[in-house]
Each structure stands twice: as structure tokens, then as C-alpha cells.
Structure 1
Amino acid sequence: MPFQPDQHPRGANPANRGQFGAVVHSESAARLTPDAQVQIDPHETSAEPWQQAFRGGTAEDRKLSSVDVSLPPRIADFNPSVPPALAAEAEEAIRVITTLDATHGEHLAPLSTLLLRAESVASSKIEHVEATLDDYARALHGSRANASASSMVASTRALDDLIHSVTGGGDIHLDAILRAHRTLMADDPNEQPYAGRVRDMQNWIGGSDHAPRMALYVPPPPQTVPGYLEDLTRFANRDDLGVIVQAAVAHAQFESIHPFTDGNGRIGRALINTILRRRATTHHVVVPIASALVARRETYFDVLGAYRDGDAGPIIHSLAEASTIAADESRTSARRLATMPEEWTEAAGRPRRTSATARLIGQLLDEPVFSADEAELHIGGATSSVYTAIERLHGAGVIRPLTARTRNQVWVAASLADELDDLGHRIAARAR
């Protein structure tokens, strides 16, 4: 039975964060041939007493007195037996990722920012959080007019926080996961009471909003979650496993535990890149894996279902494939970023190197979204020359405005924003 993404509740009960809708169950996509299977203990079930905390729903919802919860296996000491072909696919993904991380030295700072944003945008879209890139850029600069864009920005900050918690080889700690969740949910009015907190209630995915009746999946009961998370972090901090295998299993296990009332998918996918960073597979970049996963959303949920049924092979294969595609297309973006300053200089009529226009061009890769005041702070010089430089770059099509106002305008480097959009489309096209 496939996983469904988190969403805000339609009813009063905060425990149901699953989207209920039509799902395509793709047996061929999730069930690999026997020589690509990775056996793991299937999830067990247990009947637990149930009583509504928030009265509502149908008579059947109110009368429900028992629920079958899922009990994932403990994985701290799990030693997966990975078939050679699947192991080779996972190793190829690592090779492509490390090549990306190591071969674009002078462009890694702007590239890492671009890829961090690409991953956060795509991970949000898996949860049906949709916003245009211009809305996202506005939210990145402090505008809260678009709630979905603000949620994407929060996802970016949460992912960045979690990855930086292990930069240099540190372990993954529950405190860091909780901080990332707090960052993700801090501005969500429905979730503020639960932000940064492991759930203390039974949640479920799909079915009724008022009781776990006809639910698609019921995670383990709340009293078991701390133990499961301790077991998960022990697994995630091991150094004796293939990196892709470890990241895939840890992600699937996190989604099965579903430790939060909302935001599980985004934090669980952030865990993938966090493991890549902790294992020194990456040092600078965030691989936009979610861009490939969102292109095949039903398959993604289905491979998580296969994991619960006792086969980790599909999620390992899916992650290896998504990582390879994402890293490969990111190298194309890196090459395009390398040419942008010269293209901007040409479009602006080759200004003098000491001019405000040239200095502003020199800042665009690192600060692609900016206001006039910020431009003045970064490049210095007279205010009038900064405004003249902005007008010149706007006229040349190098930057575009993000708001309709005439005062305190926010600008974005047009081709860089377009590249972020194009990267997601290219990854999705190859994934499909």
C-alpha cells in the first residue's frame, strides 16, 4: 500500500496529515526481479486501543475503539545483502555525485545555493506545496504574500540547517532533526504547537480526518517513536554500509516511523542529503534528488510501500537512479552558471571593470535576489550610481523585478532563476 504525502488537516484532528486520493499502484516499478531484492523484516501490525481526542466525524468514526498500527523492524544492526547489480548502480550514483561536488571549484558557492533551493522546491512539490519561482524568490527576500512560497523557503532553511549539523563528519543527532522540523513548521499556524516536537498522539495517513478508519497507513504508536528514532540515528551514523543503501533505508524507515504530525516527507528527504554529507560523499553541494522523485510521485510512494512489505531493493534502486540523474543534470547547470557573468557583461555593453554595473554583475551569482539598498551595501559607491547600474541591467534583461512597487523593489538575476526552473524540468523529464 503506497505512502501518501503530508498535508494540513481538513478536519479538527491534527493527527491525520495524510492526503487521501487516487493512487496508482505500480507493481512493475516497485517490485524488482529477485536478483535485485534486498530482504528486510516486513512491518508487523498490532491492534491498539483507540479513542477520539477530538469528537467529530461519522458514527463509525466516533465508535472506533481499536486500530491496527504498523510496527517497523529495528534497523540499527541491519546488514543488508545487496545484489551485485544493484550495488554497482548505487556505486555509480556515488561516482557521479562526487564528480559533481569536486569538479566545479570556482562555481561551487553559487552552485550549492542553486541546488539547495532546487531540492527544497522539489521536495515541497511532492507534498503538493506549489509556488512559482518568482514567488519563491520574493518569499526568500521576506515577502509572506504567498504561503506556499514561504513554506518552500522554510524547507530550504530546514534542509540547510540539518546538513550543516553534520558538516565535517559529525553524527546525526535527534536534536538537529528537531531543530530542522522547528524551522520548517515555525510559520505554519496549524503546526506551531507541534513544531520541533516528536508527536505524542497517534497519526495516520488517508481515510477519515476524525479517526484512523480506512486509513492507508497507520504509523507506530506515539510511545514507541523515541525508541524508533534512537534506533534510526544509530543506523544513520554507521560507517560500514554503502552510502546510497544507508540513505535509502534510513529515509524509508523515517517515513514509516512518521515521527511528526506534519512535515515528515520533507524532513525525511532532507535526511538523505544529510547522510551524503556526513559520509563525505558531498562537501559542498546538495543533490536535488527530490526533482527526480516528484516526477514519478506514485512510484516513489510505491517503493516505500515495498519497503514496508519486506523489500528494500526498490527504494535503493529508486534513490540510486534519482541521484544519478540529478547529479548529472546539475553538472549541466554548473557549466551554464560558469558562462553567466560573461553573458551578463556582454548584454550590459561591457561596462568598465570599476563601474557600479560591473561590480553588481560580479555579485549576481552569489546574491541573485537583492534590493537596491542591499546592492549598495555589497558594491559600495554613490547611491545614484547603484540605481543607474540597476536600471542598466534591467534594460539589458539581466535582472527582472519581483514586485509591482516602484519603491524598495526586489530584483532577481533572470537567467539564474530560469536555470533553477530548467534544472527541475530536465531532471523530471529524464526521470519519467
Structure 2
Amino acid sequence: MTEHGAALIPAAERVVVPWRQSVKGGTIDDRRLAEVTVSIPARISGVSLSVPPGVAAECDEAVRAIASLDATHGPQLRPLATMLLRAESIASSKIEHEIASVEDYVRALHGAKSNSSALSMVRATGALDRLVSGPLDLETLLDAHRRLMRDDPIDGPYAGRWRDMQNWIGGSDHSPRGAIYVPPPPDRVPGLMKDLIDFATRDDIAVIPQAAIAHAQLEAIHPFTDGNGRIGRALAAAVVRRRGIARSVTIPVASALAARRSAYFQALNDFHAGDTEPIISIIATASTVAAEESMVTASRLAELPNDWRERVRPSRASAAESLLDKLAEEPVVTTEDVEDDLGLSVATTHRVIDRLRGAGIIRPLTSRTRNQVWGAGDILDELADLDVRIAARVRAKE
């Protein structure tokens, strides 16, 4: 322990290694750079972690909030689980400066023309879903990365592969000169990643510290050419899911982290020096706020079907009632979805869609004239508002 009670692991080792450009470019200083100081994270699979009482209390609060959300709403509200998974993917992508609206995201999810950030968010959802569905092992981690990066125009060829080159954060684009952080050489990555998975699958340590440290360790190893942040945050969610704290839902922790970006990045830097307290505390607070605000969202979602029926007043077993039931489970549908899944004629499909649109329950999400994508406005607005509420509460705590 240090004087202020920080939870410690061994600090990363700093080692000077040879450097040579593989592709010539940059300034003369870039081309002449002959060595670089890399950071080699300590092995953590067998670390004995002691968390200060104050941080441990924050972690306990987070576990209670997550477990309460999952127990109360997880099994009953399947759309909640899907919605929160999407919320986490959107927020995690925003941390990496991938910016798109909720409607951009759902358009991309349904194959409509969308911007590159929205498409990246959709891939992030697939990666997160793969990781939290498990099993938590190296093969799953690599497959999650493959789903995240396979269509990337630059890093697609490296999707699902450990990097075979030196990477760095900050500084020059052409060499590690002036870099903020230089992770371990590529030959160290496989062993460090095996050690990380061994740590992430332990059952003898508290779950929130385990999730936070697993995330920070992946960031420190930086095993991929790109996508490390999103996979690292997904790994934290996977640890929570594996330990059984949440069996049905993935809370949008990234919404809280995005709101405290500077403190979050500083906590990752502190981790390199062996101080795990800041990242554990930030993840604990983010988890508590995200779970509590998700509980509010869950309650609002539960009330929507009755509100919709009040506005539409459908006859029993009518096409309108069937579509309302479908929207409660799948808040984004296409015209063909409605026709095929509900077994309706073309005329009936258009008539019931017009009725729900007139009542303000659905809205068009594309400019298509055929096979329009429709969204349940109340649910899409709630998804966006959840992110706003989480961010506001986290900033208020600063």
C-alpha cells in the first residue's frame, strides 16, 4: 500500500529496444530513430489484490446496483438487454471519436445507408455481444475483435489477430518519437494475453476490481493494431457477466466513462505505474450510475405498451395490437418485417403502419419509398436520454 491507500500491482517495466522504420516517412528525426522505450506490463494472473476500504465500498455498491437491475428487469424485458447492449456499444465507440446519433446507428443496423461511425458502432455491438456471450477465452476475444474490425478500410486485414508490429499512442505518425505510451513489443503479446485471460477468469477476487484491472491490462498490452479501447471495455463487461452478477443485461458503463474522459485516461496511465485504485474507483462509480439509470429506463419501457394502447386503442387480436406487441420486443422494424412476421397483406401493413405513425408511436428512419425502416420513437428517445442522464450524474459527482 502507498501512503494514500492505493491498491497496487507491480508497475510496468520500462525497456529500451531497437527501432527501425518499416516504411520510410516523416521527418529526419523519425527516420533516424534507432531505439524506443517500451512499457512491459507485469504478469497479473496470480496477483494478490488488496482494495482500500473506501474503494471496496464503491465496488460493493456497484455490484448491488447491477444485480438489482438484472434480477428485477433482466429476465422479463428482453428489449432492455438489447437496448443496453446497443447503448454500451454506442458510448464505447464515442470514446474513440466515432460519433453518430441513435437513429444513424439503427439505420446502419438495418442495412440502410449510414455514415462510417454508425457502421463502426454496429460492429462494436457484434463484438460486445460475442464477448459477453462467452466463453471468456483467447479464441472468443480474437473473434470479438474480428467482428469489430473486419470491415475497417485500414485495419481490416489485422482483424482477429494479435499485432505483429510495434504500435504506440500519440507522438509522430511515422515513429514512436514523442509517443505518450509505447506498449510491449509484439513478441510479448501472446504470453501477456494468456496471462490476462487467466486473471480475468479467476473466481477468488472481487468482480469490479477484476473487471477494471482486466480492462486496464488489455489497454496496457494494446494487443491489436486498432480497437483496443472498445475490446478492453467489452472485456470488463464480459468479466461481470461471467461472474454471474448480471446474467441478462450489459450496463452502459462507457456512457459514464465518456463523460469523464480525462480522468478515465489518467486512471489508465496510473495503472501503468501499478496504481489500480483510480481505474477501479472510476469503473465502480460508472457501473453504479449506469445500473441505476438503466433501472429508470427499464421502468419507463415497462410502461410504454399500456401508454401505446391508450393512444391507439386497438381491437383485441387486431393488426394494430400485434404490431404494438412486436414493437415492444423489437423497437426498429422494416415494412417487410411487419408484413412477413405478422402475416399481413400489403394493404393491411401500410394501413396499420399509418395508424401508428399518426399516433406518434413510430417514425420513419430513412428516406426510402420501399421497405422503410420504422422506429418506436419513445424507445429510441429513451436510449438517447439514458446516455444524457448517465453523463449528467457522473459529472455532478466530480
TM-score, scaled to structure 2 = 0.97
Which position in structure 2 is the counterpart of 1:137? 106
Q: Identify which range, 80-89 or 261-270, moves more after superposition.
A: 80-89
Q: Is the 8 A contact 2:212 2:283 kept in 1?
A: yes
The structure-2 alpha-carbon separation of the partners of 1:275 and 1:419, relative to structure 1 and needing over 3 Å to count, comes to same
Distance 1:85 1:300 in 2: 19
Residues 16-415 of structure 1 mapped to structure 2, 5 A cutoff: 34-104=3-73, 107-166=76-135, 172-348=136-312, 350-415=313-378
Root-mean-square deviation (CA, aligned residues, Å) is 1.3
Of all paired residues, the percent bearing the same amino acid is 55
Q: Kindly provide the CA deviation profile for residues 99-136 of structure 1, in whole angstroms up to 9, marking residues without a partner as x.
A: 00001256430110110000000000000000011110
Cα separation, 2, equivalents of 1:229 and 1:300: 22
Whether the 8 Å contact between 1:36 and 1:86 is mirrored in structure 2 is no
| Counterpart Cα distance in 2 of 1:383 and 1:315 | 54
Aligned partners of 1:51, 1:210: CA distance in 2, in Å? 11
Cα distance in 2 between the residues matched to 1:64 and 1:173: 37
Whether the 8 Å CA contact 2:25–2:174 is kept in 1: the answer is yes
Find the counterpart in structure 2 of residue 29 from structure 1.
none
**1:266-318 per-position Cα deviation (integer Å, ceiling 9, x unaligned):** 00000011001110011100011000000010110000111111210111111
Consecutive unaligned residues of structure 2, counting only runs of 5 or more, are none
Write the distance in 2 (CA, Å) between the matches of 1:311 and 1:296. 19
The answer on whether the counterparts of 1:70 and 1:218 sit within 8 Å (CA) in structure 2 is: yes
The letter of the residue matching 1:43 is A
Secondary structure of 2:38's aligned partner: strand
In structure 2, C-alpha distance between the alignment counterparts of 1:157 and 1:304, rounded to whole Å: 25
Question: Equivalent residue of 1:103, what SS?
Answer: helix
Any idea what SS the aligned residue of 1:69 has?
strand
Q: Which amino acid aligns with 1:83?
A: P
Contact 2:67-2:246 within 8 A present in 1 as well: yes
- Deviation of 1:404 after TM superposition, in Å, equals 1.3
Checking the alignment, whether the CA contact within 8 Å between 2:74 and 2:248 is kept in structure 1 is no
CA deviations on 1:31-80 (whole Å, 9 max, x unpaired) are x9945410111111101000001110000000000000001111010111
Q: How far apart are residue 365 of structure 1 and its match?
A: 2.1
* Cα distance in 1 between the residues matched to 2:285 and 2:277: 12
Give, in whole Å, the separation in 2 of the partners of 1:106 and 1:201: 44
User: Deviation of residue 342 (structure 1)?
Assistant: 1.2
8 A Cα contact 2:361 2:378, kept in partner = yes
Give the distance between the partners of 2:94 and 2:363, measured in 1 at CA. Answer: 25
Query: The residue matched to 2:152 in structure 1 has which SS?
Result: coil
Q: Amino acid of the residue matched to residue 371 of structure 1?
A: T
Which of the pair has the greater relative contact order for Cα pairs under 8 Å at 6+ separation?
1
The gaps in structure 1 that reach 5 residues or longer are 1-31, 167-171
